[in-house]
Amino acid sequence: MATSRATVVPMKLTQMKAAQVPKPGADFEIVERTIPTPESGHVRIKVQACGVCHSDVLTKDGLWPGIQYPRVLGHEVAGVIDEVGDGVSAWRKGQRVGVGWHGGQDNTCRECRRGDFRNCRNLKIPGISYDGGYQQYMVAPVEALVPIPETLSDVDAAPLLCAGITTYNALRHSGALPGDLVAVEGIGGLGHLGIQFANKFGYQVVAIGRGAETAPLAKKLGASLYIDSKSTNAAQELQKLSGARVILATAPSSKAMSELIDGLGPNGKLIVIGATFDPIEVSPIQLITGSRTIQGWAAGTAADSEDTLHFAEISGVRAMIETYPLEKAAEAYARMMSGKAEFRVVLTM
């Protein structure tokens, strides 16, 4: 006699884990949330990895105006499209994608109408404007999406979507040419990537750090010369080399940046990407002499992130990474803030 066998239908997953900040300055909470549904023009991403960036302090401590809490941090997101909203045709379910600092633009402001999306007046930022990647699933607008090359792992790709694009994009728009002297100030989360990109661009790379013990790492990353600013005057050492065409200031120290301005050569440029609220001190005569300039640089658009990932893929530039599970988001954040991480911290799901 034949027996019937019941069909087992798997239950649809409706809940996910997220590390949220309930209010400015509060500790992280690991909570259960309903998995979000993507609206028109958006996709849902199953997050595989998310970098922990120093800029996350803007949300954690409430330093950015207008943030709505509770909020999930994270703007270095790598994952897989899990669902697409209405009107989405260029992206497909199952596609590997990333989301960086540039989380979307309004497409209507003066800058957007001129194609300068990086400086959109209503720029959307994951983890600030909407919930970011410290969770198992997140929703993002299509203009924020970046395809991830198959040869890059999610963990490798994540920090390239903020730290990577910021250093890569700043250097490629700096005006420096192959063979020019380019100095990278700071050998941390940004600086260790900046040295690698500068080397691959064909610059004569000088790394500037504090302490002689960092010299071997700087040279391993691609620097041809290391200057210990703790024991020598870095600006004077740069002038012995005829001055730097570009100094990429990555360490968040306005004092250190101020001390390097005299190390610029004629038409030299100090590019500031290390975020701090203290003023940089410079006299008009320092800028007039040698026609020097100081420029701030933010990350870039999704297209710039795509260029960054592709260049990293073919050149071998990779971040040095420490990983933590999502459940240890608070520990990962504290490690990043301590300045002792080597050199990027990434949450894995």
For residue 79, list its beta bridge partners.
Answer: 47, 97
SS3 at position 139: strand
Mean pLDDT of the chain: 96
The architecture that CATH gives domain 174-296 is 3-Layer(aba) Sandwich (3.40)
For 5-9, 259-263, 272-276, which range has the lowest pLDDT when averaged over its residues? Answer: 5-9
Domain boundaries, the chain: 15-163+300-348, 174-296
User: Do 174-296 and 15-163+300-348 have the same topology in CATH?
Assistant: no
- Kindly tell me the sign of the dihedral angle through the C-alpha atoms of 73, 74, 80, 86: positive
Q: How many alpha carbons lie under 13 Å from residue 125 in its C-beta half-sphere?
A: 26
**Predicted pLDDT of residue 13:** 80
> Tokens representing 127?
């983890």
Q: Backbone phi, then psi, for 348, in 5-degree steps? A: -115, 150
SS3 at position 290: coil
- Res 194 pLDDT > 50: yes
CA dist., res. 165 & res. 278, Å (int): 24
- Res 2 pLDDT > 60: no
Q: Which residue has the higher pLDDT, 276 or 333?
A: 333
- Res 62 pLDDT > 90: yes
**Predicted pLDDT of residue 11:** 60
pLDDT in tens, 147-159: 999 999 999 999 9
- Order of strands across the sheet with 71-72? 29-34, 15-21, 71-72
**Predicted pLDDT of residue 1:** 46
CA dist., res. 121 & res. 118, Å (int): 9
SS3 at position 124: coil
**pLDDT above 70 coverage of the chain, percent:** 97
**Predicted pLDDT of residue 61:** 97
- Res 6 pLDDT > 70: no
CA dist., res. 337 & res. 54, Å (int): 7
Question: Which string of DSSP letters, residue by residue, matches 187-236?
Answer: -STTHHHHHHHHHHTT-EEEEEESSGGGHHHHHHHT-SEEEETTTS-HHH
CATH topology of domain 15-163+300-348: Quinone Oxidoreductase; Chain A, domain 1 (3.90.180)
